[in-house]
Amino acid sequence: MSMIFATVDPEQIDRDVLTATDTVIAVGPAASSLLAAFSKRVGRPAPAGSPQAVDEGEALLWRWCEEANSLLIKPSQPRASFGRHRRSTAPG
């Protein structure tokens, strides 16, 4: 079974839940700080060589159970643009 946990603050997720994961993906200007907070929470050294910030469309991926370093990745962008549903379907 696979699970995805999303948070802006790893300190708010139970340590047992975090240690049950094997991969962390951090995005945004504080991606490196998020990996450091995660590593502190699980009691592991922070990944070496992580950039201090990542550009828009990039992320840091860390398989913390296997690797000491994080990887800078650039996920594929969707070919089509999808908009949110804008009108209510409920009558009234």
pLDDT given at position 2: 78
Confidence (pLDDT) at 90: 67
Whether 92 is in a domain gets the answer no
Does residue 78 belong to any structural domain of this protein? no
What is the amino acid identity at position 21? T
Report the domain count for the chain. 1
User: Which pLDDT value is given to residue 75?
Assistant: 84
Is the backbone of residue 49 left (phi > 0), alpha (psi -120 to 50) or beta?
left
- Judge whether 40 lies within some domain: yes
Q: Which domain holds residue 54?
A: 10-73
Q: What is the pLDDT of residue 89?
A: 67
Residue 85 maps to a domain? no
Long-range CB contacts for residues 80-85, cutoff 8 Å, separation at least 24: none
Please list the ranges in the chain whose pLDDT falls under 70: 1, 84-92
Question: Quick one: pLDDT at residue 86?
Answer: 67
